Structure formats: C-alpha cells, structure tokens
Amino acid sequence: MTITHGTWEPRPAERWEDGFLSGNGHHGALVFGDPDDERTVVTHHPLVRPNGGEKARPPRLAAQLPLLKDQLLAGELRAAEAFTDGRDLQWVQPFHPAFQVRLRRAPGEEPHRYRRSVDFTTGVVETECGARHSRVFVSRADDVIVQYTSGGDLDIALDHRLPGAPHGLAVGDGAVLTPEGALLTLRVRYPGSETAYTGLTLVVTKGGRTALAPPGVRITGAASVLLLTRVLRHTGELDTTPHARALRDTLPDAEDPYTVLLDRHTALHRTAYERVSLDLGADPAQRALPGSELLALPDSPALLERLFAAGRYHLLSASGLNPPRLTGLWTGDWDTGWSGAFTNDANLNLQTASAAAAALPEVTRAHASLIHRQLDDWAVNARTVFGARGVVAPAHTDGESGLSYHFSREYPLHLWTAGADWLLKPLVDHDETDGSRERQTAHALGQVALFYEDFLDRVDEDGHLVVVPSYSPENRPANASWGAINAAMDLSAARHALLTAAEYHPGTPEADRWRALAERLPPHRINADGALAEWAWPGLDDSYDHRHLSHLYGVWPLDEINPYDTPDLAMAAHRALELRGAENDSAHGHLHHALIAARLRDGERVAHALGQVLGGDFFHTSLMSAHYPNRDVYNADAAHTLPAVLLEMLVQSTPDRLVLLPALPAACPTGQLVGVRTRFGADLDLTWNRQEATAVIRPTRTLRVELRTSSGARPLDLVAGEDHVLTLGAW
C-alpha cells in the first residue's frame, strides 16, 4: 500500500509532540497515548493566558522622535537605545492547551497489532489495536471535535493536568447524565483573573450503561461511544445551558451520526485539500513506509511528497479564526516557545507563503481576519510611537491585541515600520490570483501609505527621503546599535506599500502623492563585498551571521529585485545570500534562505537549505516540526513553509510573468504538480522529466505574460477559458 495523502505509525505516540493532528482553524486535536489510555489534547485559537500583556500599551514616544532622528542623522548610532519608556520586556499572552479528553480501558491481556494514522484528505486521526478502534476529527462544518470509539468498558474524563500548567488555576468539573449518555464540563479560571474557559463534551452511547464516576463517567457494555467537544473562552461566570443545547443540536438525528458529521466536514475539508498535489515519482515501497522510517531517508522523493502533503494539510487545519501560530493550532504544554505567538517579523509570512499558489484561500482569509481585527490597534501604534497617521503593525501578537508593546534594547521591535506592508503582501498576492481588489485590503494599504506620508520627513544630501529610525529584524549593523538608518527591508517596504496603495486607489490625488513619495526613496546600496547591503546608509557595516534575511525582502516575497529586470541588484542579492550565515540553525532561517535562492534561480542553494532541514532531525513523527535541529522546541515553521519552497522551485509567477522550473534540484528529475495557481489568474499543471516538460495553463483572464524558462524569454498570449499547452525542451 502506498501512502501520499496521509501518514502512519506502528506504535503509540509516547510524546505529545508525536501525536497526530486535526483542526478546523478554530479548535485543534492532538491525539496520542497508549491503547489503554487514549488522550486527545484539545486546543483552541483564542486560549491565551493573561500575563500582563492584556493590559499593555505601546510606549508614548512620539514627542521624542524628532530628537532621535536628529541624533541618528548626526552620527549618534547608539541613540535609539534610549528611545524607550524604561519598561521591562513584556511578552504577549502565551497560547496554551485547554485539557485532554481521556478514554481509559482495562489493560488488554494480550498484545495486539497496533496502527495509528492520519488521513490528510479527511483530517481523521485513526487508531486501531486489535478489535478496538477510534477516530478523531475536527469539523469545519460544525466547529466541534468529534471522537468515535468502539465500545466495551471505559472511563471518560476531561483532564486539565498538562505539562507547564500554572499553579493557582481555579478548576471546576462536572458530569450529568443525559438521554444521549452524559455531558461533561470543565471550567478553568486563570490565576488572579476573571478570565476563564470552559470545555463541554457530549457523550453519546450506543447501548450499554452510563454511570457517574467523578470527575467523569464510566461506560459499560456499549457498542460504540461518540464524543462532541467544544471550548469557550469567557470573562466571569458562564451559563453553559445554551452552549450545551447548541452542542446537542449539532448531533445528527441519524442511525450513524458519526458518518453524517464526517460527511458534512469532508465536503469542506477535502475540497480545499485536494486542489493541489505533488508527485515526484517516488518509489512505492518508500511511500508505504511509516513516517518515522521515511524521515530517516532525507534524500527520498517520497519524503518530500509526504512533507508537501502534510504541510498543506497542517496549514489548512490551523487556519480559520486565525492563521497559524508559531505552533500552528496545537500544543500539549502550557510553556510554549516564544508564547506560541503570531511572530510577524518573519514566521507568520513564511508559514503562509504557499497560500496563494497552493490554492488555499482559507489560509489567506484567516490571515486577513487577524489583520483587519487589529487595524485600529495598528493606528494606535502609529500615533503613540511615531506621532503619525496611518498604521504600524506589531512584531508579535497573541491574536487579541495588535498593540506594539513587546520590545527591548536588544530587540527594539517597536521601531519596525515595515511590518504592515510585509503582512499585507499575502493579501495582495491573493487579490492578484483572484483578479479582484478587496475593499478592506485597499483601506489597509491606504492607511500604510498615510503613515509614510507623515513618517518620511527627512532627506539626505542628495534629496532622497531617509527612513529613520530604521530596523532590520532582528539584526544590527556590525558597527552600530540596534536602531539605524535606511534598512533595506524598510526601503523595499515603503516603496512597495506606496506604489501598491496607489494601484488600489487609481485616479485619486492620494495615488499621485504616494507615487511621487515612492520615487524619492533612495536606491539600495551594494557594499564593498559586492553584496546588497542590509543598511543602505553609508558607513553601516553588515552583520552576516544571522538567521533573518530581512534585507532580501525585495527578492522574496516582493518582485522588486529579480534576475530579469534588475540583474545587477539580483547578483548583489545573491552575493548577500552567499555571505549569510545560519546562526542558530533555526528552521525558518534555512527555508527563508531557500525561498530567496529559488527566486534567484539557484537550485543548488535551494537543495542545500532543504537538506539542512531534512537531514537535521527537525520533524516529529507527527510530521509537525521543531524550531531547532534534533526536534528542539515544537514549532510549525518548517512544516508549513516547506510546501512554499517546493512550489517556488517549480513555478513562479507575477501579474505579468510565468517562470517554469527556475530552481529544481537534481534530486527531483521527474514529477507532476497539479492545480497550482498563478498571480495572473490561471491554474497550472506541470509535468517534467529530464527530456521535456509540459505545462497546461487554464487562464481565467485574457492577457499576455512573459514566459521564462531555461531557454530564455518569450511572450505568451492567454485567452480566458481556453487551455494552453506548453511543451518545453530539457531543463
């Protein structure tokens, strides 16, 4: 049996990190445990623990900004260290798990064949042990965690005792018998806070007997058991009666309610998941391996196939109310790395990088939802820190507050002004793919442009505007402090934001002003090493050994610097990439490197960066990833970003250009990519081998684009509704 759209293991997951995952973008389920103690950790995007961040505000520094600009321009390159109100570093509220649903049985007398698996096409996590079997999925249709288990005798309870849970949690649990079986409740209030969350689980039995067995219930002789679980975050007391009624209303009136629930969910999930697929012609025997064995074959095309499929599955499953956090939608520990936040200055955009091309508008809608809910907070950041109109995005958010309060001397993230453009770029990509311009995106871009109208009020001796203060996440010049002048990312972001805002507001006086402002920004600088400088201000030296590649924003994801229109700058960017170190070997650094290398048509460098991740023991057997090698710190960066790297190797597009096979490593000599979407409004299927490649393009718009291949460039005329077949020579 070959497996492409799923993975499996022959042993239970002893660590929660190895538990298989399901999610609907609101609730998540992490399934692990042994056959006699099945544990499903329940997660929920809004669950963040109050830690002071809920009351934090951005620093009131606007009155000090003119002096800081004067000091930096006068050569006082440590001046930004004093641009603070003296507060200690305040982390955003940390994401945490809700509880675990535990199903305990009497130990089996004899060992049985064991198998656990997850089906990416349905989101069902299944466990089989002899005659016992259980299934778990999180419904997109009904926003409920669905668990089905074969019958027998078992105890069921909601257990809040998970690693890292803080002392002082106020916990109350309850169980009542109902006509269906039972209703379990668990209420948890945070220490020193009126904020709490409540879990409700409806237990539905088929046959047998249900009895109270605090803190849960004991079931004997049932043919099967169905559980429906939801979580609610609230302030103060919660009347659970209407929520319990709503949970009961979710239960289908059918002989087989599990199948009805699954069918309703699958109609939404499968449609999204199956839009795009990747086949690298892998060995069927390797495709059949459990994930743990496949991960030991880092050069296997079968591994890339499965990680591509798993990455799209996990990305889709984590996106709904919000886009993915640093941990996606899952954690089994209250002590999440970097608060399990949305880290905006690199990680969030890397994780969602494949959304447009990989045909996952659900991910972009989740990304947009987070931005638009926080736009008023972004405006507070602009006024309070910079005394400007418009908006400035924070570098970190817990999903509730969009205020900039997480900063320190070493990480002066409140100085980062490029964030709004960086975060809005995926929304622009979606609009280009879709052929529309969303009104909310247009409004947000206009607000970013207004900020630059006020902020860009200094000029250099050549009459160019100066971005000051300027910050390149999360690096500093070798010969200066953390706040500097004309960071390359800031220049690219300001130029892109102003020009894109003008495109979204055609024929307006504002558009003319914004274009004129963009033309006054300085060019990028090439340093003495022939590399694109991270700071375009003369005298600021580069610090090469760093995990972030913010200065190459103009290469990826922007199209400002590319080998076709700006070959000299592209060479300088490539030199900067060559000189860049890996610092602490974080997964996001390696894959960011790969994305930029692909745009610069360097397949060998892409392969090397991928190899660092595939050979560095970054993946758990769940195929969720870690931040560091040797599976250190549960983190979704590698899992979610890897599909974007594979797509960029094969197909790149802009609104007027198509690039085929720009950076394919030699390890992938044959394959088929189906359903990829382009930014000029066409779906594309690509098949290739060493002799030739064939692309089938299905345009939704009539236009001419430039086709780029290893053979050069030529125009390509496309007609809406008419398939266009391209046959290319050996690549």
Residue 538 CB neighbour total at 10 angstroms:
11
Q: What is the token pair recorded at 398?
A: 């817990």
Which residue, among 226, 291, 227, has the nearest Cα to 13 in the 3D structure? 291
Residue-wise pLDDT tens digits, 635-694: 999 999 999 999 999 999 999 999 999 999 888 899 999 999 999 999 999 999 988 999
Does 398 lie in the same domain as 316? Answer: yes
Which residue, among 706, 662, 701, 665, has the nearest Cα to 683 in the 3D structure? 701
Residue-wise pLDDT tens digits, 247-262: 999 999 999 999 999 9
Tell me whether residue 726 is in a domain. Answer: no
Over 50: is that where the pLDDT of 453 sits? yes
Q: Which pTM value belongs to this model? A: 0.97
Over 70: is that where the pLDDT of 503 sits? yes
CA 135, CA 153: separation in Å to the nearest integer?
A: 17
Tell me whether residue 85 is in a domain. Answer: no
| Residue environment code for 128-138, b if the CB has 16+ CB neighbours within 10 A, otherwise e | bbeebebbbbb
Domain boundary among 660, 687, 714: 660
Could you give the strand order of the β-sheet that contains 682-688, starting from the edge strand earlier in sequence? 277-279, 671-677, 682-688, 693-699, 724-728
Look up residue 107 and give its DSSP letter: P
CA 326, CA 316: separation in Å to the nearest integer?
A: 15
CA 72, CA 484: separation in Å to the nearest integer?
A: 7
Backbone angles phi, psi at 230, to 5 degrees: -135, 160
pLDDT, average across residues 216-232 = 97
Look up residue 699 and give its DSSP letter: E
Does 302 lie in the same domain as 235? Answer: no
- Residue 665 Cα to chain centre, angstroms: 25
Tell me whether residue 319 is in a domain. Answer: yes
Q: Classify residue 559 by burial, with Cβ atoms within 10 Å: 0-12, 13-18, 19+.
A: buried
Q: What is the token pair recorded at 572?
A: 């300088």
405, β-bridge pairs: none
- Residue 397 Cα to chain centre, angstroms: 13
pLDDT, average across residues 540-559 = 96
Does 523 lie in the same domain as 564? Answer: yes
Tell me whether residue 631 is in a domain. Answer: yes
Does 610 lie in the same domain as 461? Answer: yes
132, β-bridge pairs: 129
Does 306 lie in the same domain as 377? Answer: yes
Could you tell me the CATH number of the domain that includes residue 251?
2.70.98.50
Taken as a whole, the chain contains a residue count of 731
pLDDT, average across residues 108-112 = 59
Residue-wise pLDDT tens digits, 141-179: 999 999 999 988 999 999 999 999 999 999 999 999 999
Tell me whether residue 701 is in a domain. Answer: no
Band (1; pLDDT cuts 50, 70, 90): very low
CA 393, CA 424: separation in Å to the nearest integer?
A: 10
Residues contacting residue 348 through CB under 8 Å, at least 6 positions apart: 323, 324, 342, 367, 423
Does 420 lie in the same domain as 358? Answer: yes
CA 50, CA 53: separation in Å to the nearest integer?
A: 7
Could you tell me the CATH number of the domain that includes residue 374?
1.50.10.10
pLDDT, average across residues 54-76 = 97
- At 525, the amino acid letter reads R
102: helix, strand or coil: strand
Q: Give pLDDT, residue 106.
A: 80
Over 50: is that where the pLDDT of 278 sits? yes
40: helix, strand or coil: strand
Backbone angles phi, psi at 696, to 5 degrees: -110, 115
Q: Which domain holds residue 174?
A: 6-48+97-274
Q: Give pLDDT, residue 110.
A: 56
Domain boundary among 660, 689, 717: 660
Does 302 lie in the same domain as 223? Answer: no
Q: Give pLDDT, residue 720.
A: 97
CA 659, CA 650: separation in Å to the nearest integer?
A: 8
Tell me whether residue 443 is in a domain. Answer: yes
Does 152 lie in the same domain as 101? Answer: yes
Over 50: is that where the pLDDT of 397 sits? yes
Domain boundary among 274, 308, 342: 274
pLDDT, average across residues 544-550 = 94
Tell me whether residue 708 is in a domain. Answer: no
Tell me whether residue 241 is in a domain. Answer: yes
Does 344 lie in the same domain as 310? Answer: yes
Tell me the pLDDT of the chain averaged across its residues: 96
Q: Count structural domains, the chain.
A: 2
Q: What percent of the chain has pLDDT over 70?
A: 99
Q: What is the token pair recorded at 588?
A: 């996001």
pLDDT, average across residues 79-94 = 96
pLDDT, average across residues 295-304 = 97
pLDDT, average across residues 345-361 = 98
Over 60: is that where the pLDDT of 731 sits? no
199: helix, strand or coil: strand
pLDDT, average across residues 543-565 = 96
Does 325 lie in the same domain as 228? Answer: no
| Residue environment code for 316-350, b if the CB has 16+ CB neighbours within 10 A, otherwise e | bbbbbbbbbbbbbbbbbbbebbbbbbbbbbbbbbb
Residue 146 · residue 227 · CB < 8 Å: yes
Q: Classify residue 694 by burial, with Cβ atoms within 10 Å: 0-12, 13-18, 19+.
A: middle
Does 409 lie in the same domain as 308? Answer: yes
Residue 84 · residue 407 · CB < 8 Å: yes
pLDDT, average across residues 506-525 = 98
pLDDT, average across residues 707-731 = 92
Does 362 lie in the same domain as 235? Answer: no
Q: What is the token pair recorded at 298?
A: 């880092």
